[in-house]
Chain A
Amino acid sequence: EPEVTQTPSHQVTQMGQEVILRCVPISNHLYFYWYRQILGQKVEFLVSFYNNEISEKSEIFDDQFSVERPDGSNFTLKIRSTKLEDSAMYFCASSSRGQGKYFGPGTRLTVL
C-alpha cells in the first residue's frame, strides 16, 4: 500500500537555526498538508498546498514558515529561525480531493 514518507525522523537544532523537514506524499495525491502535534496534545493544522501554491494556512504558520514542492515528488516545510516552542512532531499528509488524509510517520523536532 502506498505511504507518505518523511525525513529525518528526528531533528535536533539550536534556537534560531533554520530547519527543513522533508516529505514524499503519495504519488497520485494532489493535496498536501503539514500538521504538528506538541507532545500529548491534539493535532494542529499548519498549511495546505494545492496546485503549487498555499491554499490555506493557520495562524501558527507565520512568516517564519514556508513550504515548497521543489520537484514532482518532494514537499518541504522550512522554519527559518526556530524557537523553543516550535518543538513538536511535524506530520506531513496527502490526500485526494474530499478524501481522508494519509499521514506520514512524522519528524520529531527538538529545539534547544
Chain B
Amino acid sequence: GQQVMQIPQYQHVQEGEDFTTYCNSSTTLSNIQWYKQRPGGHPVFLIQLVKSGEVKKQKRLTFQFGEAKKNSSLHITATQTTDVGTYFCALGGTSYGKLTFGQGTILTVHP
C-alpha cells in the first residue's frame, strides 16, 4: 500500500522562529492532506493539495505540493505557542477517501 515518510519526527523551536515539516512518497500521489493534532486532542483538517506545484497559504502557514506530486511541505512562519502539536500529512488515493497518515512531526514552541 501507499507509504509516506515524514520528517523531522521532532522539532523544538523558540517562539518567533520558523518551522517546516516534509512528507515524501515513493509513488505519485493523487492528493495530500495536512492535519494538526494538539496534545490530547484529535486530528483537525488543515488543507488538501491536489495540483502539481500547488501552493496554498493560511495566515502564517504555507503548504506546497511538489511538481512531481511525490512530496509536500508545511511551513509555519514566526511560530507561536498556539502552534504546538503534531502535524500529520495524510495521503488520499481512493475514491472512498481512505487516508494513510505519516508518522507526524511533533512541534514544541518555547516561549
Q: Which residues of A pack against B, CB within 8 Å?
A: 31, 33, 35, 41-45, 48, 50, 55-56, 91, 95, 97-106
Number of B interface residues at 8 Å Cβ cutoff, please give it.
Answer: 24
Q: Contacts A100-B33, A103-B42, A105-B42; is A31 near B101 (CB within 8 Å)?
A: no
Contacts of B95 in A (CB 8 A): 97
Q: Say yes or no: B48 contacts A104, CB within 8 Å.
A: no
Closest B residue by C-beta to A98: B97
Interface of A (DSSP majority class): strand
Q: Say yes or no: A45 contacts B99, CB within 8 Å.
A: yes
Contacts of A41 in B (CB 8 A): 103
Write the B41-80 contact mask toward A (1 if CB under 8 angstroms, else 0).
1111111100000000000000000000000000000000
The 5 closest A-B pairs by CB, nearest first: A100-B45, A55-B96, A43-B101, A103-B42, A48-B96
Contacts of B22 in A (CB 8 A): none
Write the B97-110 contact mask toward A (1 if CB under 8 angstroms, else 0).
11111111000000
